[in-house]
Structure 1
Amino acid sequence: MRLLHCLLALIPLVAAPLARADLIDDVWERGSLRIALVDDAPPYSFRQDDKLTGYEVELGHALADELNVKADFIPVPRDKLLDGLRSGSVDIVLSREAQAARDDQQLEFSEPYGVGGGQQIAGGTDSGGLTQSLAPSQAQDKSAEGSEKGPQEQAIPFLKENPAFRSALNNALNKLKSSGRLDELSRKWLEGQAPSQAASEGEKPQPSPQPESKPEADPEQP
């Protein structure tokens, strides 16, 4: 009987290593946040003097800093953007094009961090790879959705069933919002190309005041 009790007590110790760790544990253990992106999409991510730069690159560095790790950027072809998430070889994707995968059952998205043009889903070189990787009916629906709704909320995709990572990622984004860092990056890279963060949070832009019209002079008066 004592032997049976001892065996029962050992079961949790044996099973514990088999439990799946949360993604945030892997990130902290390796000391890096693995970020997939494309390297030919200015001003979001591109190479300048053979060095990665752009809005999404600086955002990746800022997120990694908030998580107390380094940013490890992994450039991939457009049609492979989401493959690394599904296989576990990358942690997040920073790309406007990833928004077309909202219905992917293996992925979930962070809280929105901004808004961007819907044209990357509606068609053109920006959208081709990702929408084609979806089922044909999905790609068609996404194309119609992008063209009808215009600017869409931007969020960060990652593998599902990682609640601690989701919480850490959202906390990092909220800190970047509250500190003004996201606005700073938008002004630096996207001025005149994308709506402001205020628009992404539901505030409608105010129309510019129209100049007052001057009354026309009466031709009969001297």
Structure 2
Amino acid sequence: VDEVKTKLKGHQKHITGLAFSAALNLLVSSGADAQLFFWSADSWEKKKASAIQLPAGKSPVGDTRVQFHNDQVHLLVSHETQIAIYDGSKMECIQKWVPQESLSSPITCASYSCNSQLVYASFSDGNVGIFDAEYLRLRCRIAPSAYMSQPTPNSAPIMPLVITAHPQEPNQIALGLSDGSVKVIETPDPFRRWGIADKAGTENGRPSSSSAANNSGSDQIQR
């Protein structure tokens, strides 16, 4: 290391996520204090501090993770209580989804697909949700029975702790589980089944503008 250029301070607890945007010349940091900090990548000055919007009575704790969309403007933020999309240019939340109905357990991780048109989210009960990235509308729920064997009596529960998308295949994901294993899953073709735009400016069956998930209309995958 030639030198430490600067030390950025602001978070009250340990850092859980970092994401650079080349388009905005911005660094976003997230922490276990449920805070987001937006830093200028030129001067390293803090441009904004933002606490994620937590449910009433919820303590500001828990890992918060961040990932920029391919456009380098929209930012995916995940916390056990929500997944959210921020407009990085305005440093404001523009869409949010909270656990509900068939996906009511805490979120453990979330990731954009390789083309940034889908968001994959894992849950502590083993479920995986697939959302469109623009409105966070639930498109599919993958039950844990689709990729894990039935637990034996008295065995410790197994849950996905980390999720990431294949760098070239938008319908493939890898799940890192609490038992030390990694499962690679191929989901249904999202473009053919759900009519999501596969090229800029081309859309088939654009979803409604509601950011709330409609679980009754989503596909479910089970073994």
Give me the TM-score of the superposition, normalised by structure 2.
0.25
Q: Which has the larger strand fraction? A: 2
Q: Which has the larger helix fraction? A: 1
Structure (1 or 2) with the larger CA radius of gyration: 1
Give me the TM-score of the superposition, normalised by structure 1.
0.25
